[in-house]
Copies of this chain bind each other. A is one copy, B any other.
Amino acid sequence: MSLLVLGSVAFDAIETPFGKKDKIVGGAASYISLSASFFYNKINLVSVVGYDFPGNFIKQLNNRGVDTRGLQIVKNEKSFFWSGKYHNDMNSRDTLVTELNVLENFDPIVPEEYQNCKYVVLGNLHPVVQSILLKRLEKRPELVIMDTMNFWIESAKKELRNTLEMTDVLIINDEEARQLSGEYSLLKASRIIRNMGPRYLVIKKGEHGALLFYNNEIFYCPALPLEEVFDPTGAGDTFAGGFAGFIAKSDDTSFDNMKKAVVYGSAMASFCVEKFGTEKLLELNDIDVNERLNMFLKLSDMGF
């Protein structure tokens, strides 16, 4: 039993109203793996980097129980690079640079040792790469958790729909949910999207919390009000990692357990935004995570 994580491991350059970082480690799978590692220690990473990627970060992943035998290192190419600038309200950003590099021809090879995975997170990547990985698994995993973004909803709708059909849990933000469904009401959007494949849908709303939809059930997890959001980069991936890590640890895919997973995902995301990049995740310990969970419990306690 293990948790397989597919996604990018990359470099980011980030500018927010609080500062600027020229080249730091980022990528969906970096955040997902780090975040999941606070709950679970059989994490199998499938990704690709170039010759320029720091071995030190790979060691940090290994130290946190992440198996990197599925992390391909391409000798003659550079790592994926993304650069973005956030607006003053932190709710929107401009992409300044996207250099695909090693991602351009990424073939998601699944090491034999990874075959027995029970849980899979498909981090944000081209939906065809996501579906190829699923098809390479000899046994259908118990739960496929998927993330995507506006870019694929626009440019690869057909391929995305194909991957969605193989997905159990889709985790996207409110804007993406509206775009994918064509509906403004998130309640209506959730029905349309769940008819595309995923039984479970999580809609993240940033500082406004997250919604979990399943059958006729809805769960609304608040977000913790923060002094400042330093850098929102990776918050969504960190959410997905905490969510998946908790599911894998508890080995329970019921709606009731998934609600808890949404709370843990939200708690991890609330840490992520407090510093630049993966900085905060790398300095956390289990006590911090438990304290944060208790803050969420208190925050949402209606007192009845």
Closest B residue by C-beta to A266: B302
Give the docked Cα–Cα distance between A302 and B217 (Å): 13
Give the docked Cα–Cα distance between A303 and B228 (Å): 29
Q: Which of B190, B256, B259, B299 contacts A218 (CB 8 A)?
A: B299
A296 with B302: CB separation less than 8 A: yes
Q: Is A188 an interface residue (CB 8 A)?
A: yes
User: Binary interface profile of A, 257-290, with partner B (CB < 8 Å = 1, else 0)?
Assistant: 1011001000000000000000000000000000
Copies in the complex: 2
B259 with A226: CB separation less than 8 A: no
B184 with A303: CB separation less than 8 A: no
Q: Is A220 an interface residue (CB 8 A)?
A: yes
Q: Is A209 an interface residue (CB 8 A)?
A: yes
Number of interface residues of A (CB under 8 A): 37
A220 with B299: CB separation less than 8 A: yes
Q: Is A137 an interface residue (CB 8 A)?
A: no
B303 with A297: CB separation less than 8 A: no
A174 to chain B, nearest CB (A): 10
Q: Which of B211, B217, B225, B303 contacts A187 (CB 8 A)?
A: B225
Closest B residue by C-beta to A220: B222
B302 with A221: CB separation less than 8 A: yes
Of A186, A225, A226, chain B has the most CB atoms within 10 Å of the CB of: A225
Give the docked Cα–Cα distance between A205 and B257 (Å): 28
Of A186, A297, A300, chain B has the most CB atoms within 10 Å of the CB of: A300
Closest B residue by C-beta to A255: B303
A245 to chain B, nearest CB (A): 17
A180 to chain B, nearest CB (A): 17
A–B complex contacts, Cβ < 8 Å, 16 sampled: A187-B225, A187-B226, A205-B208, A208-B209, A209-B209, A211-B225, A219-B299, A219-B300, A220-B222, A220-B223, A221-B302, A256-B303, A259-B301, A259-B303, A260-B302, A300-B300
